[in-house]
């Protein structure tokens, strides 16, 4: 019956700016609860603050650039669709893989985090449990939610992201931030002797983990085909998201650096939870425990949403078998892509470590940001401001693009210092997969159907 009712089925346009905010901030916020603090291990508490500012600049550039391009190229796949229209198919294929890797690995890291936190709580209660069932439950529940519909998925993300963010604010105001010495002891924790224990090279090394303050805000673009008004909702949701995160990152550093010595800050997996415990308040500890859990769940939820959209887009354009581009006729979700990525996430969660998952995610993310800096320059050259209507135009071009490119290069140096072999292995993987795509896959791509936006011919063509 349903087949007779409708011959075409597509993703559902039901989302608004709040959902876009929930998607972007939801993916990222877990980085305040864990991840960023390893920058203190690399360079001390002051290095963690310096990278908070500089990486904040990097991501502000990402958010501005993304808002301009995606408010114009409003298609599922986000940066993949941008690359396809602006650079070319090989770049697009690579960008889609960066996206799928970055989000799937982040999802795995989030699920491991939930499992580890529950294992720690159980150990505190004298019980010994495995993290695997909790990790599996997190991934399977969120895959189920994503399978059943995007509106409920992102409604839930809005609520739990808001609650997780609120837990940071509760901690901040509970420790009387206006009165140093009452609870917070920044002057004792960060002294001239220990502020930068490894000097400026420690600051460079810290960039790699400073990424965690904001990693994933660019994920808002994956909702492009499901928002009711892409030109308005995407820039609004993305830019309000980065503002939320900049405030959250500053608060997080201030509270954690004022309560935890840099050695502990740089080694704990749960800096905000430990900061709450350091206050001696059981209530704050409970609130931050749930904040950590909720932020990890929100992040994994957004990651499943984004990875499946990127994979779906690859299938729709025949960059991968078209089978992956199926949309569920009832739930209107890319269900085959969600199902396909589910066992991959579970397998990585079961067999890979947290540090490996995080490293693969960061590497793919930084490769993507490097592309974005080149992409916006090409976009403005091929389609100048007066040639097509944009939902948002970012200011000071090309300064954000140049800044983004420089900061990406610094981050690559930092990654090379810490994870050189993984960086080279990952680049080799993308090189080999590009050769495969060029010689064996591209012949199946429907080239005439690649360019879908109703734009004039680009300058120079």
Partner 1 sequence: MWDILETGAWIVSFILIAYIVIDWFRTDRSYSNEMLTSSREGELEAETERLHREEAKGGQNG
Helices 282-316, 132-148: inter-axial angle, 10-degree rounding: 50
- Taken in order 174, 175, 177, 182, the sign of the CA dihedral is positive
CB 265 within 8 A of CB 40: yes
The helix (H) or strand (E) run that includes residue 284 is helix 282-316
Q: Give the number of other Cβ atoms within 10 Å of residue 333's Cβ.
A: 25
Residue 10 is a binding residue for partner 1 (CB under 8 A): yes
User: Cβ closer to partner 1: 133 or 420?
Assistant: 133
Residue list 192-251, contact with partner 1 (CB under 8 A): 225
Q: Classify burial at 40, counting beta carbons within 10 Å of its beta carbon; exposed 0-12, middle 13-18, buried 19 or more.
A: buried
Residue 122 is a binding residue for partner 1 (CB under 8 A): yes
User: Cβ closer to partner 1: 57 or 151?
Assistant: 151
For residue 322, the 8-state DSSP code is: G
Residue 320 is a binding residue for partner 1 (CB under 8 A): no
Q: What is d(CA 177, CA 76) in angstroms, rounded to the nearest whole number?
A: 42
237: CB partners within 8 A, 6+ apart:
17, 18, 19, 20, 21, 23, 24, 220, 223
Residue 457 is a binding residue for partner 1 (CB under 8 A): no
Q: What is d(CA 22, CA 8) in angstroms, rounded to the nearest whole number?
A: 29
User: Cβ closer to partner 1: 119 or 404?
Assistant: 119
User: Cβ closer to partner 1: 7 or 193?
Assistant: 7
Residue 124 is a binding residue for partner 1 (CB under 8 A): no
Among the listed residues 329, 353, 384, 420, the single contact to partner 1 using CB under 8 A? 329
CB of 53 to partner 1, least distance (A): 38
Residue 377 is a binding residue for partner 1 (CB under 8 A): no
CA 437 from chain centre, in angstroms, equals 26
CB of 342 to partner 1, least distance (A): 7
Among the listed residues 240, 308, 313, 368, the single contact to partner 1 using CB under 8 A? 313
Stretch that binds partner 1, among 128-136, 251-259, 272-280, 427-435 (CB under 8 A): 128-136
Interface pattern 56-95 for partner 1 (x via CB under 8 A): ------------------xxxx---x--------------
The pairs formed by 435-439 with CB atoms below 8 angstroms and a separation of 24 or more are 437/90, 437/93, 437/319, 438/90
Helices 271-278, 230-259: inter-axial angle, 10-degree rounding: 40
CB of 177 to partner 1, least distance (A): 36
**# residues contacting partner 1 (CB under 8 A):** 50
Residue 339 is a binding residue for partner 1 (CB under 8 A): yes
CB 266 within 8 A of CB 40: yes
CB 38 within 8 A of CB 202: no
CB of 346 to partner 1, least distance (A): 9
Among the listed residues 155, 322, 387, 434, the single contact to partner 1 using CB under 8 A? 322
CA 230 from chain centre, in angstroms, equals 20
Stretch that binds partner 1, among 165-173, 183-191, 311-319, 353-361 (CB under 8 A): 311-319
CB 38 within 8 A of CB 251: no
Q: What is d(CA 326, CA 320) in angstroms, rounded to the nearest whole number?
A: 12
Residue 447 is a binding residue for partner 1 (CB under 8 A): no
Residue 454 is a binding residue for partner 1 (CB under 8 A): yes
Residue 3 is a binding residue for partner 1 (CB under 8 A): yes
Among the listed residues 30, 58, 117, 143, the single contact to partner 1 using CB under 8 A? 143
- H helix count then E strand count, the chain: 18, 0
* Phi and psi at residue 15, to the nearest 5°: -95, 155
Contact positions toward partner 1, by CB under 8 A? 2-3, 6-11, 13, 74-77, 81, 122, 125, 127, 129-130, 133-134, 136-137, 140-141, 143-144, 147, 225, 313, 315-317, 322-323, 325-330, 335-336, 338-339, 342, 449, 452-454
């Amino acid at each position: 019956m349903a087949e007779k009712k409708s011959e075409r089925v597509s993703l559902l346009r039901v989302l608004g700016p709040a959902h876009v905010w929930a998607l972007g901030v939801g993916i990222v916020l877990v980085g305040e609860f864990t991840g960023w603090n390893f920058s203190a291990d690399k360079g001390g508490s002051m290095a963690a603050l310096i990278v908070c500012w500089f990486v904040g600049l990097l991501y502000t550039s990402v958010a501005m650039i993304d808002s301009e391009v995606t408010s114009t190229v409003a298609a599922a796949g986000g940066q993949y669709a941008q690359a396809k229209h602006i650079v070319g198919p090989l770049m697009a294929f690579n960008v889609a893989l960066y996206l799928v890797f970055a989000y799937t690995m982040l999802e795995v890291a989030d699920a491991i985090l939930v499992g580890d936190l529950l294992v720690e709580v159980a150990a505190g209660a004298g019980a010994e449990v495995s993290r695997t069932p909790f990790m599996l439950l997190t991934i399977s529940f969120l895959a189920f939610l994503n399978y059943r519909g995007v509106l409920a998925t992102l409604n839930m993300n809005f609520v739990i992201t808001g609650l997780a963010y609120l837990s940071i604010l509760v901690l901040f105001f509970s420790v009387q931030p206006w009165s140093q010495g009452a609870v917070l002891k920044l002057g004792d924790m960060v002294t001239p002797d220990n502020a930068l224990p490894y000097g400026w090279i420690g600051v460079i090394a810290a960039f790699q983990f400073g990424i965690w303050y904001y990693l994933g805000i660019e994920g808002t673009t994956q909702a492009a085909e499901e928002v009711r008004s892409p030109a308005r909702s995407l820039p609004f949701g993305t830019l309000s998201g980065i503002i939320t995160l900049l405030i959250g990152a500053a608060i997080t550093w201030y509270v954690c650096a004022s309560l935890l010595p840099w050695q502990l800050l740089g080694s704990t997996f749960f800096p905000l939870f430990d900061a709450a415990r350091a206050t001696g308040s059981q209530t704050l500890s409970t609130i931050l425990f749930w904040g950590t859990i909720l932020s990890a769940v929100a992040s994994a939820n957004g990651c499943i949403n984004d990875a499946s959209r990127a994979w779906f887009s690859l299938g729709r354009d025949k960059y991968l078998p078209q089978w992956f581009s199926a949309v569920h006729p009832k739930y209107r979700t890319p269900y085959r892509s969600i199902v396909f990525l589910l066992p991959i996430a579970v397998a990585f969660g079961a067999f890979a470590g947290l540090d490996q998952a995080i490293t693969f995610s960061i590497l793919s993310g930084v490769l993507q940001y490097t592309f974005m800096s080149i992409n916006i320059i090409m976009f403005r050259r091929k389609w100048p401001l007066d040639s097509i209507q944009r939902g948002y135009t970012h200011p000071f071009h090309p300064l954000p693009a140049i800044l983004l490119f420089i900061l990406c290069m610094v981050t690559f140096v930092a990654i090379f210092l810490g994870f050189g072999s993984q960086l080279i292995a990952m680049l080799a993987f993308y090189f080999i997969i590009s050769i495969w795509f060029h010689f064996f896959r591209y012949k199946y791509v429907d080239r005439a159907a690649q360019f879908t936006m109703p734009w004039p011919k680009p300058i120079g063509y």
